[in-house]
Structure formats: C-alpha cells, structure tokens
Amino acid sequence: MYDFLSNGAEYISPGMQRLGSTTLGDVGNYFAGNTRNPIQVSAAKDAKWMLNKLPGVSPKLAAQGGRLAGRAIPLLSALANVSDVADIVAGDESLANKAMDVTAMGVGGTAGFFLGGPLGASMGASLGKGLSDGTQWLFGDKKTPEQRKMELALAQLQGGGMY
C-alpha cells in the first residue's frame, strides 16, 4: 500500500552490485565492441530497419550497416565525452558554469550507469553536459564569450577607454 514511500534501495541495489563487479577490462570490452550492450543492439536494429527502407539497399548491406552503427555508438560516445571535458577545461566560461557542467556530467553519468552500464554512463554524462549548456543558454544572457568580448571592446572604443 505504501510502496511509493520506499527509500529506493531495491532500485539502487542491483546497480551497486553491478558497479562492484565491473572491472576495467569490462569497461574496455564495452568500448571495444566485444560486449553487446542493449543500447548497441537497439541502435543496430534501428539502423538496419532504416537501411532496409532505402530503395536499392540489399538486406545483407542493411545488416552490415546495422552492425556498423552498433559498433560506432561507443566510439562516438567516447569522442563526445572527450569534447565535453575539453570544453570544460579550455572554455572561457565562468567557474560557476564549469562547476554546473561538471555536476551535470556526474549526475548524468551516474544515472546512465544504472540504466546502461559503462556505455550508458558515457552517454548520460554527455547528455548531462548538453542539458547544462542548454540551461545556461536559456536562463543566461544568450551571448557567447566572444560576443561579450566584442561588446566590451566596442564600449571601450566608443568611450575612449582603450589603452
């Protein structure tokens, strides 16, 4: 009757057990494509279905394209993570924006791990960073750091404050 008042332990426990038994080799196998994650299987199936709808594409070619799409998912996700981290480290945003991005990546990565293992964590981290950037743009002044620098330079030129 009072299931909605649960502390959530029954949902977190399987993920924690999986986390405790995950080795660095398991993570490497996910990203090398040696182990098929449900996310990869779904992407491969969807790509195969889409390729089958194109005129002139044979079923064999569609199957190969689906396998390629399933294997490309971990690589694309890892590249997105590298790009996100590079943006945080080298970007000209404020320290508060960077902290928000790091927090969002951590929360997204944790949620993604519980839903899809290491590949889910990778995808969740990128999704978290994207949501953080979108939130900052939506509630911020909607200007890039370059636009702010140009406005400051223009104001200094007009005011004679350029030294």
| 40-92 pLDDT per residue, tens | 888 889 889 999 899 998 999 999 998 898 888 888 999 999 999 999 999 88
Cα gap 110→95, rounded to integer Å: 22
**pLDDT score, position 11:** 57
Report how many domains make up the chain.
1
92 found inside a domain: yes
- 109 inside domain: yes
What is the pTM (predicted TM-score) of this model? 0.64
Average pLDDT, the chain: 82
How far apart CA 56 and CA 87 sit, in angstroms, is 41
- 159 DSSP 8-state letter: H
Q: Does 3 fall in a domain?
A: no
CA separation for the pair 94, 20 (Å, rounded) = 36
The stretch 128-137 carries a mean pLDDT of 92
| Residue 2 covered by a domain | no
> Per the domain annotation, does 85 fall within a domain?
yes
Q: Please give the full DSSP string across 50-108, using - where no structure is assigned.
A: HHHHSTT--HHHHHHHHHHHHHHHHHHHHHHHHHHHHHHHH----HHHHHHHHHHHHHH
Taking alpha carbons only, the member of 6, 27, 10, 1 closest to residue 116 is 27
Q: Is residue 67 part of a domain?
A: yes
The residue segments making up the domain with residue 121 are: 8-159
Rounded mean pLDDT, 5-32 = 64
* pLDDT tier for residue 1 given thresholds of 50, 70 and 90: very low
Question: Does any domain span residue 84?
Answer: yes
Model confidence at 32: pLDDT above 90: no
